Each structure stands twice: as structure tokens, then as C-alpha cells.
Chain A
Amino acid sequence: MEKAQKSTKAARGTVTCDNTTMHLLKANDFVAESIRRKMAEQGILLLNITSSAGSGKTTLLQETAKRIGHKVNMKILVGDLETERDADRLRAVGVDALQIVTGGICHLEAQMVWQAMDNLDLNGVELLIVENVGNLVCPASFDLGEDYRVTLIATTEGDDKPKKYPRMFLTSELMLVSKTDLLPYLPFSVDAVVADARDINPNIGVLQVSSTQDIGIDEWCNWLLEKVKEKQSSTTHKKNESHVFSDPR
């Protein structure tokens, strides 16, 4: 075990650093924890949706909003390198969506989500979905304070992708195999991609979806509603506990 050394005296020679203070993403992780606390207080389920560029995140979220937008109070934050297009597409189906333009940065950072939340009325919101920038590398390292990561992999991609991007699949709760309507025309094997993902993350859940042919969308929406319910019951639970705690009568 390395011993943490304080640098109050003039540092000379070799200084072995404290692992936590010298962690390069600590600023991000600090903000992510603030987001997590805020979401816990308000009982909002926060999801971080990731994939390679063009795997079908926005299309799936459009279908999701159409399907359960009236059942659950949901909002969407959507990251993009340059354009506002995805937020427009989401607003077109009636969901309150806000674009985070990263200006060329290849991932969302917790600070960007935190700032965007200022421009979003979270009153009564039960589900907040963040669509990350299409990229399986960098977003994997940036905690956004989410409850769950959900990663899409389209049938138009390689079924050996999980092992190429292990961090993402390691940290995802659910893998959505998307564009399954195209399976008959492609060499993609669902069994192979599931095996590849489970080598990395034995606990990862898997659903197969097609947003254009309405395959698996109900299962996905049920998963969402279930998680929203879990989050709410854990929040009321905690509220009751803290109530007992703060009221000694």
C-alpha cells in the first residue's frame, strides 16, 4: 500500500501521491456524485444511453416517448458534437428534450449534464434519459451520476464489438441489440454478441429491439417502467427513514 504524502513542506526528491487526490477524473466524479445525490433526493431515475455513432439511440428514444410518454414523466438530454438535430427529433414526438452541444468533445462530462439540468424543469420528472455522444470509448470513462448505463449495439456493427470496448460493456446494466429487423440480411450473430458481452460482464441484461419494426420495444419500455418504480420506492423508503431520524418524538 502506498502511503499518502502531504505536500505542505517543500516537495523534493520523489513524492508518492495519494491515489484519490491525484486521480485525473476526480473533478468529473465529484460532480457525478452531486448529480447522483440530487437524483436520489428527487426520486428521478437517470439513464445514460451509449453506443457507437448511428446505432439507433435517438430513434429508440422517439419510439419510447411515443409508447410511454403519457405513463411516465420523462425528459431527455442529448449530447451531440455539433448539431441540435436529435433534440428537434425528440421534441417532434412531444418529449421535452434539451441538446447539449459538446463542441467537438467526444463524450459528455458530468459538468455538462449538471449545467444542462439548470435549464430543465425537473419538477415531477420521474425519468431523465441522457443520450450520450455516439462513441464507445471515451463516454465509458465518464460517470454522469446515472443509475444505469444502457448500451446499444446495432446489427449493422460487428458482433465482436464488446471485447473491443470492454469498459463500456463492463459498466452497462443492459445491452440492447438494435436494428434486429435487418438480421436476415447481415452476418451478425446475436448469440455471438451476447457471448462476447457476457465474457466481460456476466450480469449484463440483453434485449433485442427494432425501432422501425416494433420488435422488443414493449420489453424495453417495461424494463424502464420497472426501474422507475424501483427508484421511486427506494426514495420514499429513504424519505420515511430520514423522517423518523429527524423527528425524535
Chain B
Amino acid sequence: MHEISLVRNIFNTLESEFSKAELGNLSAIDLRVGKLSNVEPILMQNAFEAVTTAEDKYQQVRLNIEVVPIEIYCSACDARSTIEDYKFACAACGQPNNNVVKGTELLIHRVHFG
């Protein structure tokens, strides 16, 4: 897996959005990781620890990972359904449906300073 490079992406992304001074004050990062993103939270945490230790930076920063369930949208029913067992169908009408509206995300949702 590519968790190490994702951790580097996290830092690159933050460094392009916030100043060095601000990041010196960074205390926590909240990630949103969809069930379909193929990211394992535990591996991500391990990679985060490995990179921050190896590069001796952001060691004070906590990584919080929120796993986002898979949701599809059925336009016929105007209904959203959560997919539990990888059977992609609308819970209201039962029709097969792979119009995924949630669950692929892989993003920094919030950052905490101070």
C-alpha cells in the first residue's frame, strides 16, 4: 500500500495551505477516509508515526481518522442508502445502483491549531 506517500501528501497539502508559523502550532489533523478509498486506518496511523519520527517533525500532531461508510443515491426514489455488504442496490426500491455519493473520499477534513 501507499500509506507512506499519502502521509507525505498530507504534509505537502498542509504546507501549501498554511504558513510555517501556523503549522508550528498544529495539534491535530482530522482525516476522512471512505470505505472505498482502500486506506486502512491502522496502516495509515503506523505510516504517520513512521514519517513524523523519521523526519523529526509534526511529532506533536495527532492524526484522527474518520471512516466514512458507502452511500448511494437513487434518483428514482430520491433516496440515499448505506451499503453494508458490498451489495450495491437502493434500499427503497431494491434496484441495483452504483451511483456512489459517499465513501470514496480521502481528504483532510479539519485541522486543529493550538
- Chain A interface (Cβ < 8 Å from any Cβ of B): 2, 7, 10-17, 19, 21-27, 105-107, 137-138, 140-141, 163, 166-167, 170, 198-203
* Complex alpha-carbon distance, A23 and B6, angstroms: 11
Q: Are A24 and B38 in contact (CB under 8 A)?
A: no
- Give B1-56 interface residues, CB cut-off 8 Å to A: 1-2, 5-6, 9-10, 13, 17-19, 21-22, 25, 36-38
* Complex alpha-carbon distance, A13 and B19, angstroms: 15
Q: Are A11 and B22 in contact (CB under 8 A)?
A: yes
Contacts of A199 in B (CB 8 A): 86-89, 96
Q: Which of A14, A24, A106, A138 meets B108, CB within 8 Å?
A: A24
Which A residue's beta carbon lies closest to that of B109?
A: A17
Which A residue's beta carbon lies closest to that of B88?
A: A200
Q: A137-B38, A140-B38 are in contact. Are A166 and B86 (CB under 8 A)?
A: yes
Q: Are B113 and A15 in contact (CB under 8 A)?
A: yes
Which A residue's beta carbon lies closest to that of B112?
A: A14
CB distance from A99 to the nearest CB of B (A): 20
Q: A199-B86, A201-B98 are in contact. Are A25 and B106 (CB under 8 A)?
A: yes
Q: Are B2 and A106 in contact (CB under 8 A)?
A: yes
Contacts of A27 in B (CB 8 A): 9
* Complex alpha-carbon distance, A175 and B114, angstroms: 50
Q: Decide yes or no whether B100 CB sits under 8 A from chain A.
A: yes
CB distance from A245 to the nearest CB of B (A): 32
Q: Which of B5, B98, B106, B112 meets A13, CB within 8 Å?
A: B112
CB distance from B103 to the nearest CB of A (A): 9
* Complex alpha-carbon distance, A12 and B24, angstroms: 11
Q: Which of B2, B5, B88 meets A202, CB within 8 Å?
A: B88
Q: Decide yes or no whether B81 CB sits under 8 A from chain A.
A: no
What are 25 sample pairs from A and B whose C-beta atoms fall under 8 A apart?
A: A2-B109, A7-B17, A7-B22, A11-B111, A14-B112, A15-B111, A17-B17, A17-B108, A17-B110, A19-B105, A22-B13, A22-B17, A23-B105, A23-B107, A24-B13, A24-B106, A26-B13, A106-B1, A137-B1, A137-B38, A138-B2, A141-B38, A167-B104, A170-B36, A199-B89
* Complex alpha-carbon distance, A22 and B22, angstroms: 17
Q: Are A201 and B88 in contact (CB under 8 A)?
A: yes
Contacts of B22 in A (CB 8 A): 7, 10-11
Q: Decide yes or no whether B97 CB sits under 8 A from chain A.
A: yes
Q: Are A24 and B96 in contact (CB under 8 A)?
A: no
Q: Are A24 and B111 in contact (CB under 8 A)?
A: no
* Complex alpha-carbon distance, A16 and B108, angstroms: 9
- Give B45-96 interface residues, CB cut-off 8 Å to A: 86-89, 96
